[in-house]
């Protein structure tokens, strides 16, 4: 795609504001790319917010999209698709708004433009964007689920020795080894109350070890 003398906007996002997450690397890489492509960077937007939030809750993104569509911007530059969001619906909504104004989204890690030189939607990019957006959505949902069913802090100390032996799920423990699982489960003394999945030790008990007084296996 011929990008010479074209106007571009950079949008960079990280989930939180701390020493381990900042937007500087994203911006630097996109600036280098724009220079190589003779693009004029007219605006840079930085945001520290979860990509799982709706567009209406992301003030900087809303301002960015509004600027791009009203100021004859040719390209919106992203380091990767997930910077635009982790909700498939919200990502596609943003793309539709940009495409109506003939703003092409460039995704650096894929080397793809969402629009072709003639201004029509790039069919290959469209398929990839939809798939990747859904993958990001699934990843975000999985992370939220893991946080929801994390071991309660008072019990975490007892379970720390076995952090590599099993993981937690909405129902019970996923076990890699049934024999060792029983003893480790008993020693950790934790489980999800109301568990409906049969566990090795409790053999169908709804309360499992956290509320059952069972002796440890030899």
Instruction: Provide the percentage of residues in the chain whose pLDDT is more than 90.
Output: 48
Average pLDDT, stretch 81-88?
89
CB 68 within 8 A of CB 1: no
pLDDT at 97: 96
Residue 68 CA to residue 136 CA, distance in Å, equals 24
How would you class 176 by CB atoms within 10 Å of its CB: exposed for 0-12, middle for 13-18, buried for 19 or more? Answer: exposed
User: Domains of the chain by range and CATH?
Assistant: 6-146 (3.40.50.1390), 150-218 (no CATH)
pLDDT at 52: 82
Residue 204 CA to residue 19 CA, distance in Å, equals 46
CB neighbours of 186 closer than 8 A, spacing ≥ 6?
A: 201, 209, 214, 216, 217
- 186-213 b/e (C-beta count within 10 Å ≥ 16 → b): bebebbbeebeeebbbbeeeeebbeeee
pTM of the predicted structure, to 2 decimals: 0.63
pLDDT in tens, 91-112: 999 999 999 999 999 999 999 9
pLDDT at 136: 65
**C-alpha closest to that of 57 among 33, 85, 79:** 85
Taking each continuous run of H as one helix and of E as one strand, the counts in the chain are 6, 7
Average pLDDT value over all residues in the chain: 74
């Amino acid at each position: 795609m011929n990008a010479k003398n074209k106007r571009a906007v950079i949008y960079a996002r990280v989930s939180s504001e701390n020493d381990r997450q900042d937007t500087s690397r994203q911006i630097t890489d996109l600036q280098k790319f724009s220079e190589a492509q003779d693009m004029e960077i007219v605006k840079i937007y930085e945001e520290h917010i979860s990509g799982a939030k709706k567009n209406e809750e992301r003030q900087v993104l809303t301002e960015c999209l509004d600027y791009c569509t009203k100021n004859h911007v040719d390209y919106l530059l992203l380091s990767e698709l997930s910077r635009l969001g982790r909700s498939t619906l919200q990502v596609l909504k943003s793309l539709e708004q940009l495409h109506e104004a003939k703003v092409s989204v460039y995704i650096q890690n894929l080397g793809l433009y969402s629009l072709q030189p003639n201004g029509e939607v790039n069919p290959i990019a469209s398929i990839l964007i939809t798939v990747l957006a859904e993958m990001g959505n699934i990843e975000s949902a999985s992370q939220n689920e893991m946080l929801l069913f994390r071991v309660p802090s008072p019990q975490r100390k007892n379970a720390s020795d076995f952090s590599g032996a099993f993981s937690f799920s909405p129902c019970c423990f996923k076990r890699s080894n049934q024999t060792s699982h029983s003893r480790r489960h008993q020693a950790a003394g934790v489980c999800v109350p109301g568990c409906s999945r049969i566990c090795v030790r409790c053999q169908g008990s709804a309360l499992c070890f956290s509320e059952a007084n069972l002796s440890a296996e030899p």
